[in-house]
C-alpha cells in the first residue's frame, strides 16, 4: 500500500463525492449553467469534504493548478496576510478564466482581517472566485456570511463510512469483516479523513488480508466486544459490582473511555430497539454486529424487568458528553452505572 489513503481516495469529480448529494446537486447544475458565484462559504464539521468539494468547483470552472490558491487562515490570520491577498487578487490569472482562492478555517481570521476581506468580497474582480471553509460558522461576522453562497456539509452516516471503508479495503487487496468496518466507521465519528486514518493504521499493521473486529480493537485501542458486553450484561442483571469491575479493567488497559462509553451506548441502543422492533431492525443490525454479538443482544432484549431503558440511554448519553472533560476519565461512566443500576445493586 503506497501513499496516504485520504489523498489516494480523495474524490476528483462529483460522482465520487459521498454523503453530500444535497450540495452536489445544486453546485453541479449551477456550474453547468455557468451560474458561478464569486464567493462560496462551505461550513460543516471536520473531515466532511469541504476542501475536496472546493477543489472540484475550481476544476469544474476550468481553473488550473497554477491559478488555484489554498490558504490556511489558522496560519495566515492577520490583516497583513489579507492585505497581501487583496493585492494579489487583482492580477490576472496565468492561464484560466478564474483564479480560485480557497481559504480554510476562515473563522480564525482576526477582526481586522475580516474587515479587510469584506472589502474584497463586496467588490471582487470578475476573474476571482473565493471559497471559504469553516467548522465554526457562528464565529464569522454576519457581513461575511451574507456576501457568500452558503452550503452546509453533513456528517456522513455510519452506513456511508462503513461502505466506503469496505470499498477502499477491497481496492487495497484486503477484506474487512462487516463488524470491523462498522467499528472503524464508529471510531471515525462522522469524518471521512479520520476513517481513512484509522483504516490506514489497521492495514499497515495487518499481518493478513482479512481484518476482523478484534484486529481493529487491538490496533486502535478500542475495547474488545467482550468487555463492552460485560457492562451491558451487568446493567441488565442489575449488578453494580460487576459493572464497575469491568470499568476498572478498561481503565487498567488504558482504553479510551470516550470510545468505551460510545460502544456501550451503541449496544444499549441495539438492545432497546430489538426489544420493541426486532423484526423491522434485525436486518440492519446484522450488518453491524457479529453473529455472537447479535445473539447476545437479542438475549438481553428478552429481559422482562429491563434496566436498559430510554431513560438509561439518556443517562449514558450525558456520561458520553461529560467524559472528554472529566478529570477522572472513568468517573462519568461510573456515576451513570450507579444511577441506572442503583447504589444498592449487587
Q: Both 214 and 246 in a single domain? A: no
Q: Cβ of 207: how many Cβ atoms within 10 Å?
A: 6
On whether residue 4 sits in a domain, the answer given is no
CATH number at residue 92: 3.40.50.300
Q: Both 108 and 176 in a single domain? A: no
Q: Cα–Cα distance between 191 and 189 in angstroms, integer?
A: 6
Mean of the per-residue pLDDT values of the chain: 90
Q: Both 243 and 168 in a single domain? A: no
Cell of 76: 495566515
CATH number at residue 251: 1.20.272.10
Q: Is 328 exposed, middle or buried (0-12, 13-18, 19+ CB in 10 A)?
A: exposed
Q: Which range (104-108, 229-233, 340-344) has the least confidence?
A: 340-344
Q: Both 232 and 277 in a single domain? A: yes
DSSP type of residue 223: P
Q: For position 211, what pLDDT does the model report?
A: 93
What's the per-residue H, E or C state across 227-250?
A: HHHHHHHHHHHCCHHHHHHHHHHH
- Domain boundary, last residue among 195, 220, 245: 220
Containing structural domain, residue 248? 225-341
Handedness of CA 296, 270, 182, 319 (dihedral sign): negative
Q: Both 163 and 119 in a single domain? A: no
The CA-atom distances, in angstroms, between 178 and each of 129, 166, 284, 297, 316 are: 43, 8, 11, 17, 26
Highest-pLDDT range among 68-77, 107-116, 162-171: 162-171
Q: Both 216 and 232 in a single domain? A: no
On whether residue 211 sits in a domain, the answer given is yes
Is residue 192 very low, low, confident or very high in pLDDT (cuts 50, 70, 90)? Answer: very high
Is residue 219 very low, low, confident or very high in pLDDT (cuts 50, 70, 90)? Answer: confident
- Domain boundary, last residue among 152, 183, 202: 152
Say if CB 63 and CB 31 are below 8 A apart.
Answer: no
Q: Summarize pLDDT for 85-106 with one digit per residue, the tens.
A: 888 999 999 999 999 999 999 9
Say if CB 150 and CB 41 are below 8 A apart.
Answer: yes
% of the chain beyond a pLDDT of 90? 63
Domain count for the chain: 3
- Domain boundary, last residue among 93, 119, 152: 152
Least Cα distance to 144 among 178, 101, 174, 109 occurs for 109
Q: Both 246 and 201 in a single domain? A: no
What's the per-residue H, E or C state across 181-195?
A: HHHHHHHHCCCHHHH
pLDDT for 287 beyond 70: no
On whether residue 289 sits in a domain, the answer given is yes
pLDDT for 64 beyond 50: yes
On whether residue 133 sits in a domain, the answer given is yes
Q: Both 215 and 279 in a single domain? A: no
On whether residue 126 sits in a domain, the answer given is yes
> What average pLDDT does range 53-59 have in this prediction?
97
On whether residue 12 sits in a domain, the answer given is no
Q: Both 75 and 40 in a single domain? A: yes
CATH number at residue 176: 1.10.8.60
H-type alpha helices, the chain: 5-8, 21-32, 50-60, 79-89, 111-122, 142-145, 158-171, 178-188, 192-205, 213-220, 225-237, 240-252, 257-286, 291-301, 310-323, 331-341
Handedness of CA 107, 111, 117, 119 (dihedral sign): positive
Q: Both 310 and 328 in a single domain? A: yes
Q: For position 344, what pLDDT does the model report?
A: 42
Is residue 345 very low, low, confident or very high in pLDDT (cuts 50, 70, 90)? Answer: very low
> What average pLDDT does range 124-134 have in this prediction?
95
On whether residue 6 sits in a domain, the answer given is no
On whether residue 236 sits in a domain, the answer given is yes
Q: Both 203 and 230 in a single domain? A: no
Q: Both 176 and 253 in a single domain? A: no
How does strand 175-176 pair with strand 210-211? Answer: parallel
Backbone dihedral angles phi then psi of residue 133, each to the nearest 5 degrees: -130, 140
Amino acid at each position: 500500500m503506497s501513499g496516504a489513503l485520504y489523498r489516494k481516495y480523495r474524490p476528483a469529480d462529483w460522482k465520487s463525492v459521498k454523503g453530500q448529494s444535497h450540495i452536489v446537486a445544486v453546485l453541479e447544475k449551477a456550474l453547468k449553467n455557468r451560474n458561478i458565484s464569486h464567493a462560496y462559504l462551505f461550513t460543516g464539521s471536520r473531515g466532511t469534504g469541504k476542501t475536496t468539494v472546493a477543489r472540484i468547483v475550481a476544476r469544474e470552472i476550468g481553473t488550473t493548478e497554477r491559478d488555484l490558491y489554498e490558504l490556511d487562515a489558522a496560519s495566515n490570520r492577520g490583516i497583513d496576510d489579507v492585505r497581501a491577498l487583496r493585492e494579489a487578487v487583482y492580477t490576472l490569472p496565468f492561464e484560466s478564466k478564474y483564479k480560485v482562492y480557497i481559504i480554510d478555517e476562515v473563522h480564525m481570521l482576526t477582526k481586522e482581517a475580516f474587515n479587510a476581506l469584506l472589502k474584497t468580497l463586496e467588490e471582487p474582480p470578475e476573474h476571482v472566485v473565493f471559497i471559504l471553509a469553516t467548522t465554526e460558522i457562528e464565529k464569522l461576522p454576519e457581513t461575511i456570511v451574507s456576501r457568500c453562497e452558503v452550503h452546509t456539509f453533513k456528517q456522513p452516516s455510519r452506513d456511508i463510512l462503513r461502505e466506503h471503508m469496505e470499498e477502499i479495503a477491497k481496492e487495497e487487496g484486503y477484506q474487512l469483516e462487516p463488524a470491523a468496518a462498522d467499528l472503524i466507521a464508529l471510531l471515525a465519528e462522522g469524518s471521512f479523513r479520520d476513517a481513512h486514518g484509522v483504516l490506514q493504521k489497521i492495514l499497515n499493521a495487518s499481518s493478513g488480508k482479512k481484518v476482523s473486529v478484534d484486529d481493529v480493537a487491538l490496533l486502535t485501542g478500542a475495547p474488545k466486544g467482550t468487555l463492552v458486553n460485560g457492562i451491558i450484561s451487568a446493567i441488565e442483571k442489575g449488578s453494580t459490582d460487576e459493572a464497575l469491575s469491568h470499568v476498572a479493567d478498561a481503565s487498567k488497559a488504558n482504553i479510551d473511555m470516550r470510545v468505551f462509553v460510545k460502544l456501550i451506548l451503541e449496544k444499549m441502543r441495539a438492545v432497546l430497539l430489538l426489544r420493541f422492533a426486532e423484526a423491522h431492525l434485525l436486518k440492519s443490525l446484522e450488518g453491524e454486529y457479529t453473529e455472537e454479538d447479535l445473539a447476545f443482544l437479542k438475549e438481553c432484549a428478552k429481559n422482562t424487568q429491563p434496566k436498559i431503558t430510554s431513560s438509561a440511554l439518556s443517562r449514558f448519553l450525558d456520561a458520553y458528553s461529560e467524559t472528554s472533560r472529566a478529570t477522572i476519565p472513568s468517573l462519568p461512566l461510573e456515576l451513570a452505572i450507579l444511577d441506572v443500576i442503583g447504589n444498592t445493586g449487587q
